[in-house]
């Protein structure tokens, strides 16, 4: 059951990725940037809901710090995978129900740059 | 004789009218604070007039702030995420003292006699003790190193009778009983292998039992403080029966755990259920299906109702469980992102914070009618001075 669910999750994620790249190809531009209103939602989610464990200022709590200094050595793709799929055995849940892989990639870029405040 | 008495009254009258209005005497029994988490401020509130009296600024990062009270109910000790510990004088409406005692902190407790304030820290993992009057540092109990080599994060700190503090170590699965009789050199009694990832704890209202919730497995760890020689035992073992739990988007909080009429109402981790446990034998007697994953389950002081709020994404609702029928009897929608609720000392009203609507809503707990709505910037914890007189708060 779990394996099937995981496989389905992976398939969905892959489909999402495919949809994004297809869109990007047809539009002639990378379309991974969320709309301005969705950006604000994502940054609010980061501050408030990721912040429940990582701290509202992302300086860490029950979960590790998500500051540029803390993330510098971590590959972006593994951070994206952690957001979307969670980390089994830890308190980090999968967020794919609320955040697409493209949105997770956008969030990681913002966290790495330290620019996480909503406009 | 009569004349001198008359003169005395006259003198007293003159003295009274000479005292400026600002220095009028009042008690603190109907006061409290509401945390404005995003701006590092607290509002001092009055539960009789249902109004804010003052805003105190400059308390640092309050993203996971908690508060304990001096035993006279005058001072609120505010623990901030950034390690700040601020002693707020709620009568004079100002900061009395403030220190930054750690890099990353999660809360604290105050000793039975009110002399020692204890802070539980994530960085560096451990417990620090301070003099309640001056905030002078007294000692540090450093936690056992976890798998990454850093001292374990400390969660679920509670005061207990006999001048003790009890805490859980998240990364190493321990419960520690800290005897602070000599707060400059505390004794620590350690219990290992209590279960995977204890994430919070509480003491029962009588101070006898300490219970830690486990995140890493289904069950809770129970320590009888009358008989610590019997060690920690598991209760509600495998309450999830091995089913995969739902993703948890916010950790439940246990300090408000409801002990009502001999039964404990506990949030089930990763389930839309409140577990009901008989406190005589700690066996499960019922489960109440609710609207989401419970965060706080708090008993009205008369124990007839338990009010529950929920984790993201179901955090716009609050449900009321009737403790006799063990069924949800009311669902309320106070606003977006309900983070906390606090009953007035005798429970005729409850104050509920709705973070994303920037308001605190006060309900009549008998009629569920709204009694007041207060504008508060991103409110989180609500703490009334009645906590000063309660064990485990």
Q: What is the set of domains in chain B, with CATH numbers?
A: 101-248 (2.130.10.10)
Q: Does A6 touch chain B (CB under 8 A)?
A: no
Output B19 or A117, whichever has higher pLDDT.
Answer: A117
Question: Which candidate from A1, A56, A97 shows the least CB-CB separation from B63?
Answer: A56
Does pLDDT of B256 surpass 80? no
Structure tokens at B274: 């409140």
Average pLDDT over residues B96-122: 96
The answer to whether the predicted template modeling score (pTM) of the entire model surpasses 0.90 is no
Contacts of A97 in chain B (CB under 8 A): 247
Closest CA relative to residue B252, chosen from B298, B319, B196: B298
Beta bridge partners of B42: B35, B56
Distance CA B156, CA B168 (A): 6
pLDDT, position A18:
39
Distance CA B365, CA B342 (A): 11
Q: Does A60 touch chain B (CB under 8 A)?
A: yes
- In this structure, chain B runs to a length of 393
Contacts of B247 in chain A (CB under 8 A): 86, 93-94, 97
Please give the ipTM for the structure prediction.
0.78
Cis peptide before B364 (omega within 30 of 0): no
Structure tokens at A95: 């967020």
The segment with the largest mean pLDDT, out of B22-31, B41-50, B258-267, is B41-50
Cis peptide before B313 (omega within 30 of 0): yes
pLDDT, position B4:
62
Burial of A41 (0-12, 13-18, 19+ CB in 10 A): middle
A62/B123 CB distance under 8 A: no
Question: Which candidate from A2, A56, A86 shows the least CB-CB separation from B61?
Answer: A56
Query: Which backbone phi and psi does B99 adopt, to 5 degrees?
Result: -130, 160
Q: What is the pLDDT of residues B316-372, one digit of tens each?
A: 999 999 999 999 999 999 999 999 999 999 999 999 999 999 999 999 999 999 999
Distance CA A11, CA B98 (A): 53
Q: What is the pLDDT of residues B202-211, one digit of tens each?
A: 999 999 999 9
B250/A49 CB distance under 8 A: yes
Domains of chain A: 33-113 (1.10.760.10)
How many Cβ atoms from other residues are within 10 Å of residue B175's Cβ? 26
pLDDT, position B237:
87
pLDDT, position B27:
96
Q: What is the pLDDT of residues B70-84, one digit of tens each?
A: 999 999 999 999 999
Contact by Cβ (8 Å): B153, B162: no
Q: How many beta-carbon contacts under 8 Å exist across A and B?
A: 63
Confidence bin at B11 (pLDDT 50/70/90): low
Does pLDDT of A3 surpass 50? no
What is the side-by-side order of every strand in the sheet holding B154-160?
A: B154-160, B164-169, B174-179, B187-191
Distance CA B129, CA B137 (A): 6
Query: Which backbone phi and psi does A71 adopt, to 5 degrees?
Result: -95, -10
Give the best residue of A47, A59, A117 to mutate against chain B (max B CB count within 10 A): A59
Closest CA relative to residue B102, chosen from B137, B131, B67, B66: B137
Q: Which helix (H) or strand (E) holds A71?
A: helix A68-71
Which residue on chain B is closest to A55 by alpha carbon? B63
Query: What distance in Å separates residue B296's CA from the closest CA in chain A?
Result: 14
Query: What distance in Å separates residue A23's CA from the closest CA in chain B?
Result: 29
Structure tokens at A112: 């790495």
Strands B41-46 and B31-36: antiparallel
Residue A34, helix vs strand vs coil: coil
Question: Which candidate from A49, A61, A91 shows the least CB-CB separation from B215?
Answer: A91
Give the best residue of A55, A86, A88, A92 to mutate against chain B (max B CB count within 10 A): A55
Which residue on chain B is closest to A50 by alpha carbon? B249
Does pLDDT of A12 surpass 60? no
Confidence bin at B12 (pLDDT 50/70/90): low
Give B16's contacts (C-beta < 8 A, 6+ positions apart): none
Closest CA relative to residue B351, chosen from B326, B376, B331: B376
How many Cβ atoms from other residues are within 10 Å of residue A35's Cβ? 8
Q: What is the pLDDT of residues A22-81, one digit of tens each?
A: 333 333 334 467 899 999 999 999 998 999 899 989 999 889 999 999 999 999 999 999
Distance CA A53, CA A76 (A): 20
CA A51-A57-A58 angle, to 5 degrees, is 60
- 3-state secondary structure labels for all residues of B238-285: CCCCCCCCCCCCCCCCCCCCEEECCEEEEECCCCCEEEEEECCCCEEE
Give the best residue of B64, B80, B105, B216 to mutate against chain A (max A CB count within 10 A): B64
How far is the first Cα of chain B from the last one, in angstroms, to the nearest whole number? 52
Average pLDDT over residues A97-115: 95
Strands B258-260 and B263-267: antiparallel
């Amino acid at each position: 059951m779990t394996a099937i669910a995981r496989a389905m999750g992976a398939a969905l994620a892959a489909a999402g990725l495919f949809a994004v790249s297809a869109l990007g190809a047809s539009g002639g531009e990378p379309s991974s940037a969320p709309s301005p209103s969705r950006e604000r939602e994502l940054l609010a989610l980061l501050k408030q809901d990721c912040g429940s464990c990582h701290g509202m200022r992302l300086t860490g709590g029950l979960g590790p710090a998500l500051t540029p200094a803390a993330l510098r050595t971590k590959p972006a793709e593994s951070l994206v995978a952690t957001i979307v799929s969670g980390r089994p055995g830890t308190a980090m849940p999968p967020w794919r129900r609320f955040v697409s892989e493209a949105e997770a990639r956008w969030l990681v870029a913002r966290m790495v740059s330290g620019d996480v405040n909503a406009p | 004789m009569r004349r001198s008495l008359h003169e005395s009254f006259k003198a007293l009258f003159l003295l009274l009218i000479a005292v400026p209005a600002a220095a009028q005497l009042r008690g603190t029994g109907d006061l409290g604070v509401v945390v404005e988490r995003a701006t590092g401020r607290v509002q001092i509130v009055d539960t009789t007039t249902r109004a804010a009296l003052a805003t105190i600024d400059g308390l640092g990062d309050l993203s996971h702030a908690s508060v304990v009270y001096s035993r006279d109910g005058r001072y609120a000790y505010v623990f901030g995420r950034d390690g700040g510990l601020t002693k707020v004088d709620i009568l004079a409406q100002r900061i009395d003292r403030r220190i930054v005692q750690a890099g990353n902190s999660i809360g604290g407790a105050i000793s039975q006699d009110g002399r020692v304030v204890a802070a539980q820290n994530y960085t560096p993992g451990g417990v620090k003790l301070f003099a309640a009057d001056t905030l002078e540092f007294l000692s540090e109990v450093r936690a056992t190193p976890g798998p990454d080599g850093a001292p374990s994060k400390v969660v679920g700190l509670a005061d207990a009778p006999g001048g003790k503090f009890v805490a859980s170590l998240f990364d190493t699965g321990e419960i520690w009983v800290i005897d602070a009789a000599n707060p400059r050199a505390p004794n620590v009694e350690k219990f290992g292998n209590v279960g995977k990832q204890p994430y919070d704890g509480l003491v029962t209202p009588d101070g006898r039992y300490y219970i830690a919730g486990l995140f890493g497995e289904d069950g809770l760890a129970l320590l009888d403080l009358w008989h610590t020689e019997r060690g920690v035992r598991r209760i509600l073992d495998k309450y999830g029966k091995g089913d995969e739990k739902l993703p948890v988007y916010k950790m439940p909080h246990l300090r408000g755990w409801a002990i009502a009429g001999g039964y404990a109402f506990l949030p089930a981790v990763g389930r839309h259920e409140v577990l009901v446990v008989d406190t005589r034998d700690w066996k499960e007697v019922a489960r109440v299906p609710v609207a989401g994953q419970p965060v706080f389950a708090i008993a009205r002081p008369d124990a007839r109702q338990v009010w529950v709020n929920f984790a993201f994404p179901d955090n716009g609702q609050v449900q009321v469980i009737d403790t006799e029928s063990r069924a949800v009897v009311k669902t309320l929608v106070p606003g977006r992102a309900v983070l906390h609720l606090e009953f007035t000392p005798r429970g005729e009203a409850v104050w509920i914070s709705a973070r994303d609507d920037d308001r605190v809503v006060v309900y009549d707990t008998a009629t569920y009618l709204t009694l007041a709505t207060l504008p508060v910037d991103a409110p989180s914890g609500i703490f009334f001075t009645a906590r000063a007189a309660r064990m485990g708060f």
